[in-house]
Amino acid sequence: MAKLYFRYGAMGSAKTLNLLAVAHNYTQQKKSILMVKPIIDDRFGKNNITSRAGLEKEADILVDNDTDLHVCDFTGIDCILVDEAQFLSAEHVDQLRAITVEKNIPVICYGLRADFQSNLFSGSKRLMELADSIEELKTTCFFCNRKGTMNLRHVNGKAAVEGPSIAIGADDMYYPACYKCYSEQIAEAKADQEKVLA
């Protein structure tokens, strides 16, 4: 049986760059890949899977709420690569898991583990529950030299403490942070908020 992989990391951990490198390796070996991404991720164009380093490839399947992956044609496909997997629904992750069993095709998913409030995304949660292999892609905290494990959202130069879980943004909105720097910035933002309300 083929495996379901989840490769996660904080912002700036080269998840998409890693995905594109894997895609390149399969292509070099004359193997067929299927590129998948949630339609909600339109930062670099609706159809593009683009790394911040500038490499890109067009997605073959754009997943929205109504997408049923079971009806897609997987004939001749050697591997399915999924970008921004945190935005998938739990049902879509279940479908990907079923594809590894029924079609014997490996599925490699890349994405964030948690949002800026340290809550698991639904897609990431289900991947943590079902994946055969879970691997952390590491990055350094933007504010110090420790490992960045948290996703810090900034609004107007300050850490955000509330807001929607999903906000597709530019590089200057999100920062990888270690837990110490993350908690310090959140505490500072909450203190500033309390001052305004006082």
Q: How confident is the model at residue 168 (pLDDT cuts 50, 70, 90)?
A: low
Dist CA 102 CA 66 (whole Å):
21
Do residues 25 and 80 share a domain?
A: yes
Catalytic residue among 56, 58, 84, 102: 84
pLDDT at 122: 95
- Give phi and psi for 21, each to the nearest 5: -65, -40
Among positive and negative, which fits the CA dihedral 72, 75, 76, 78? positive
Is 84 tagged catalytic?
A: yes
- Residue 144 domain-assigned? no
Which CATH number characterizes residue 50's domain? 3.40.50.300
- Residue 141 domain-assigned? no
Joined tokens for residue 22? 């894997």
Do residues 110 and 15 share a domain?
A: yes
- Residue 142 domain-assigned? no
Do residues 127 and 159 share a domain?
A: no
Do residues 108 and 191 share a domain?
A: no
| Residue 88: Cβ within 10 Å count | 28
As for how many domains the chain has, the answer is: 2
Do residues 164 and 101 share a domain?
A: no
pLDDT at 72: 87
What pTM was estimated for this model as a whole?
0.91
Do residues 123 and 160 share a domain?
A: no
Domain that holds residue 44: 4-136
- Structure confidence by residue, pLDDT tens digits, 157-166: 888 888 766 6
